[in-house]
């Protein structure tokens, strides 16, 4: 496995693979890797001749400096995991490599950046869209892999790729969970033992949601779910939102055969966790 920090060196390597007509799969990460990341790596390995993983904790997407400082970093362990997965190249740029000057790219995110994460983390998605654009520009992948764990981010990257007319196929991977249902996250290691137990409630509560009961009043469902989560002394919801899966718009009522997504952000102690699940109401219940 090659470890590359320099963007010119990376571009040259990619160009050489391209001349051999190899397909390039790319998995951008912020490190502190877990099986959620590795599931995307495996997908890329199955679909491309070359897999490149980036590890870059992107400062511009952190609205909270404390969160950036506390973000877990464990490069040695990450490299071992990626090597064992058969990754071809790990790209580990420093901040100056990605942001050589003060200029920032802005994209028309079609309002997808307004609700939920966008509302509570000001500027977050501008930072995400900019860094992914910059990474795509260096790596020039054929396919790039993103987890549904960060569902709104996935939609925003699809939108950025569309408006910037980039020839990259965006491929999504399902949410990988711990055995008690907690969505895997790099941030989970910051939870205390008690908080870790409490955190499992988030998925256990959203999983039990019965949308058929709330067809006329999805906003009521959001309140009830938030109330259930907040009953646990370690948990405090920031939002519980039901949105239409494609547009991320809030529905007034739930229609048959339309795909929706229930999304939550919950503080567990000092750690902010997000999760989501998708649902459709069909006629056969």
Among 107, 173, 260, 273, binds ligand AMP (CB under 6 A): 173
The residue among 132 and 221 lying less far from ligand AMP, judged by its C-beta, is 132
63/277 Cα distance (integer angstroms) = 25
Contacts of 148 (CB under 8 A, 6+ apart): 154, 172, 173, 174, 175, 276
First to last CA, the chain: 51
Query: Which own/partner pairs from 120-124 qualify as long-range (CB within 8 Å, at least 24 positions apart)?
Result: 120/238, 120/239, 120/265, 121/63, 121/64, 122/63, 123/60, 123/61, 123/63, 124/61, 124/62, 124/63
Site for ligand AMP contains 30 (CB under 6 A): yes
Scanning 86-94, 98-106, 171-179, 219-227 for contacts with ligand AMP by CB under 6 A, the matching segment is 171-179
Q: Which of 34, 37, 106, 124 is catalytic?
A: 37
Q: Which is nearer to ligand AMP, 37 or 140 (CB)?
A: 37
183 near ligand AMP, judged by CB under 6 A: yes
Q: Which residue has its beta carbon closest to ligand AMP?
A: 147
From 82-90, 158-166, 181-189, 249-257, span contacting ligand AMP (CB under 6 A):
181-189
Query: Is 146 an interacting residue with respect to ligand AMP (CB under 6 A)?
Result: yes
Q: Determine if 147 is a binding residue for ligand AMP (CB under 6 A).
A: yes
36 binds ligand AMP (CB under 6 A): yes
Minimum CB–partner distance for residue 98 and ligand AMP (Å): 14
Active site residue 37: yes
Active centre residues (catalytic): 37
Interface residues toward ligand AMP, by CB under 6 A: 29-30, 36-37, 39-40, 146-147, 149-150, 173, 175-176, 183-186
């Amino acid at each position: 496995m090659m470890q590359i920090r320099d963007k010119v060196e990376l571009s040259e390597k990619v160009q050489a693979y391209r001349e051999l007509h190899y397909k390039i799969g790319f998995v951008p990460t912020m490190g502190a890797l877990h099986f959620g990341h590795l599931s995307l790596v495996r997908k890329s390995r199955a679909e491309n001749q070359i897999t490149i993983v980036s590890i870059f904790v992107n400062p511009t997407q952190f609205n909270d400096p404390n969160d950036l400082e506390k973000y877990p970093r464990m490069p040695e362990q990450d490299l071992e995991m990626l090597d064992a997965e058969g990754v071809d190249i790990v790209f580990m740029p420093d901040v100056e490599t990605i942001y050589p000057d003060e200029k920032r790219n802005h994209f028309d995110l079609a309002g997808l950046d307004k609700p939920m994460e966008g509302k509570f983390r000001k500027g977050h998605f501008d930072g995400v869209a900019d860094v992914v654009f910059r990474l795509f520009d260096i790596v020039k992948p054929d396919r790039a892999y993103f987890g549904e764990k960060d569902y709104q981010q996935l939609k925003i990257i699809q939108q950025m790729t569309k408006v910037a007319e980039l020839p990259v196929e965006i491929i999504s991977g399902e949410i990988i969970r711990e055995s008690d249902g907690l969505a895997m996250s790099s941030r989970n290691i910051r939870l205390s033992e008690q908080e870790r137990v409490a955190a499992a409630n988030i998925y256990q509560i959203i999983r039990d949601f019965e949308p058929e009961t709330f067809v006329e009043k999805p906003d009521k469902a959001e309140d009830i779910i938030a109330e259930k989560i907040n009953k646990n002394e370690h948990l405090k919801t920031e939002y519980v939102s039901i949105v239409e899966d494609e547009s991320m718009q809030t529905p007034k009522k739930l229609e048959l055969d339309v795909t929706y997504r229930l999304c939550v952000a919950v503080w567990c102690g000092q750690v902010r966790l997000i999760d989501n699940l998708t649902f459709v109401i069909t006629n056969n219940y």
